[in-house]
Structure 1
Amino acid sequence: MSHLSHTSAIPSAPPADQLTAFYQPILALDSRRIIGYELLGRQRVGDEVRSLGPFFTHPQVPELEQIRIDRLLREQAFAKLEASPDSPTIFVNIKPTWISKHYHESGELYTLQLLRKYGIEPGRVCIEITEEEFGGPMSDLVQVIDLYRAAGCRIAIDDVGSGFSNYDRIAQIRPHLLKVDIHLMKRSASHSGYLGILRSFSSLAEQMGASLLVEGVETRDELQRAIQIGARYLQGYLFAPAEPNFRAPDEFVPLIEEELNAHRRQVQISERSWLERSLQLAESARSFGFDRLAASAAGSCPTAEEADRILEQWLPLLDECCLYVFMCRNNGVQLSSTLARKPDGSWRRDEQFRGSDWSWRPYFIPHLLQSKQEDTRVSPKYADLETHAWVRTVSICLGEFVLFLDIRDDIEPSI
């Protein structure tokens, strides 16, 4: 949502007879169907349709005028919703200052009044808290949002990743949906850091019991990225712009199914490749003598130097995808040094990590448990802290020890 300069012309309020509610579809990956629409304001002047974005974002447009026009749009939408047999959800954008100020002045919430007027189930309305600097006490805003929640409405936070939606406010509002800022989606196409942020929002939503909604999906590549980061809901021009009428709920089922099938095939090929690679690494490690090193623990625990020596002898057999190799005891304490590949392809020994306890890392215990059952395991893709490359960790269970290899995932492994 762009903010206009103070020096630009102040937009006037459109006449009521030119005011038209438009709707952009929101789709669910699980059902592949349209499940709702975002309400957007338009002005019809003859055959021309104009966005009301400048009117609602210009800092010199009187707030009471913005609220008046917004209410007319909401009433249009709710009247249409009452007449719709397919019961889509309407996503209503409301500025935080509007709902907080009006409620504390009047004790009423206009949207809830409309629900009663048109006999609409509150669950068919999602209150979308828009990006805005809210200067009042958060407790006042949360109080009003909780009234919507108690009535049965769903709550979404818009433009997650931009100004308004910091983590403190997300935690206090406890939304049902996190709507990702459109600019993050665009930047993630060419910058792995933004892709990592998008993945983190998926984890955040999961931990909060919320769902991720990705807007601005304009291409099939962006749809694939939305699937990869764990989005549940989608919105964008790939499907449809904002329009004055609702579409058939199943109109985009073939498109979404095609991309979901492509995603499944890609993941299956990748996971099968990495499983085969991990099994080959495990066979190589055992044939090279790691099993004998592990077996010697029955008599006396091998030293870090012994572990380093056999690791260094094994390094020439590892291809250029492998970045780090180290060995831990099965309690999470690192036995060996960390062998790290240098930019020129040679290896360096980093002894500072000997004795480090990695059992606190979220992946370690699941890795260990599954490794004991299946000998090897491959982690999901993540960004390496030092190189920022996308990597996976392969773990190989060797009795009382676990061998770990961090391997690049942006280079096709030679299997």
Structure 2
Amino acid sequence: MDALDVIMNKDKIIPYFQPIVSADTQLVIGYEVLARIELEDGVKSLGWFFKDHTIPDEYRQEVDEYVCNHALEKFLALEREAKLFINVDMNDILANDGERLIKNLKSFESKGLLLSNIVIEFTEQDFNGDFSLLKHFITYIQSLGIQLAIDDVGKVGSNLDRIALLKPNIVKVDLEFLEGDAFPQLYRDVLYSLSLLTRKIGATLMFEGVGSFNQLNYAWRNGGRYYQGFYLSRPKPTFQEVDFCKDSLKKEFHHFIHYERKKIEAQLVLTEKLGQLLKNSLKKLKSFYNYDDVVMHISKELNEVSFRIYICDHDGYQQSGNAVKGENNLWRLEEGSRYKNWSWRPYFLENIVRMNYERKGLLSDLYTDIEKDEMIRTYSFPINDQLYLFVDIPYNYLFEQDGLI
């Protein structure tokens, strides 16, 4: 099928609607409009048609308006509150300053459409025009009550600074491009940044392309409020019932919460265990003046738990060498990091203050160790008001324990 076939068979083009579900109510809060064409061999997606810029602009705009208008007519007949997500190409929209889109939406407003129920969705990294004009247009449509969703955020090319300046209402992250249920750590770090960004700018984080139980769990664990994907529902020519997956989502959320509770409990148990081990180990020392002796002494007590131990002062300067576990579980002292400053690391100073205030050790989240290039956790423990012990825990130990990965 080519572009001309699509234009010649416009009467066979129909809008499909894929539901978007909210985590807080487990109900459908809106539907994304997707273009489909009904052929003899089945219903086909027209996603390729709108992404192919070798097709004349007027062809794409004609089909886009045809689908959009049919979707809006059906949406007006929907006798309940919901939002309609409409995909646009901002390059095409701003070619005439957005007047064509606004005029079309306002024509439906006169028929009873609430503009506050419309969400304009576009992909920021595909826009190649004047950013200031884009920002101005977005500010204008938001002033009309129309919401904005930025699509495909988190993929290569997304510019978080530009997204922050645009201040969308919804940030959409696609999980579909990930292979199976594998989530690379780099992508997790990007999602963490996105989660912080959406919170800062007051946007809602949405995950699309949710195609499996694990992907739904991943979206839930990473702060997603809205979910969309084949695991929940495939696009349909009709509007899915508002509570179609409420019962199943409640069951899955219960499973997620139970598992996360077990993880938190496991981390608390490890924190308590390490704290007690270190207290007992430090009591055996007659002096703390030789910091290298301290870390080598503790390494014998924590041989099964750690691969690297060192001491820093309250300003972040490392006062000892690194006690490092080598082959055959033999520990050695490495001098390279002595007197380096680690206060630049995220949460370092916050953890120092917390340890002083709470008088107990802290277990970090999972992160990638630069030297080992593997996921680890670090347990930090206050020796006194000036010195702090850091115990790096390897992935293989964490993997063997329930709830620590």
Partner of 1:329: 313
Partner of 2:338: 354
Equivalent pairs counted in the alignment come to 399
Query: C-alpha separation between the residues in 2 aligned to 1:55 and 1:252?
Result: 31
| Mapping 1:72-221, distance limit 5 Å | 72-103=66-97, 106=99, 109-110=102-103, 112-130=105-123, 133-162=126-155, 165-186=158-179, 189=182, 191-221=184-214
Offset, 1:159 = 1.1
5+ residue gaps, structure 2: none
- How far does the alpha carbon of each residue in 1:324-361 deviate from its partner, in whole angstroms, 9 at most, with x for none? 32222234333222333447644443333333333343
Aligned partner of 2:373 among 357, 363, 388: 388
Contact 2:85–2:120 at 8 Å: present in 1 too? yes
1:376 aligned onto 2:365:
no
- How far does the alpha carbon of each residue in 1:82-112 deviate from its partner, in whole angstroms, 9 at most, with x for none? 22232111111100112111226x5862454
Partner of 1:403: 389
- Structure 2 counterpart SS, 1:129: strand
State TM-score, norm by structure 2: 0.88
5+ residue gaps, structure 1: 297-301
Contact 2:275–2:381 at 8 Å: present in 1 too? yes
Query: C-alpha separation between the residues in 1 aligned to 2:267 and 2:330?
Result: 24
- Structure 1 counterpart SS, 2:309: strand
- Structure 1 counterpart SS, 2:400: coil
Query: C-alpha separation between the residues in 1 aligned to 2:106 and 2:137?
Result: 14
State TM-score, norm by structure 1: 0.86
- Structure 2 counterpart SS, 1:109: helix
- Structure 2 counterpart SS, 1:322: coil
Query: C-alpha separation between the residues in 2 aligned to 1:342 and 1:45?
Result: 65
Query: C-alpha separation between the residues in 2 aligned to 1:146 and 1:346?
Result: 63
Q: Identity of aligned pairs, percent?
A: 28
Contact 1:290–1:310 at 8 Å: present in 2 too? no
What amino acid is aligned across from residue 352 of structure 2 in structure 1? L
The worse-fitting range, judged by mean Cα deviation, of 159-168 and 145-154 is 159-168
- In structure 2, relative to structure 1, the CA distance for the partners of 1:134 and 1:270 (3 Å cut) is closer
Aligned partner of 1:29 among 3, 23, 27: 23
What amino acid is aligned across from residue 146 of structure 1 in structure 2? T
Offset, 1:220 = 0.5
Partner of 1:69: 63
- How far does the alpha carbon of each residue in 1:155-191 deviate from its partner, in whole angstroms, 9 at most, with x for none? 1111113466333432332222221234554376163
Partner of 1:53: 47
| Mapping 1:285-364, distance limit 5 Å | 285-289=278-282, 302-303=288-289, 306-342=290-326, 345-364=329-348
Backbone CA RMSD of aligned residues:
2.9
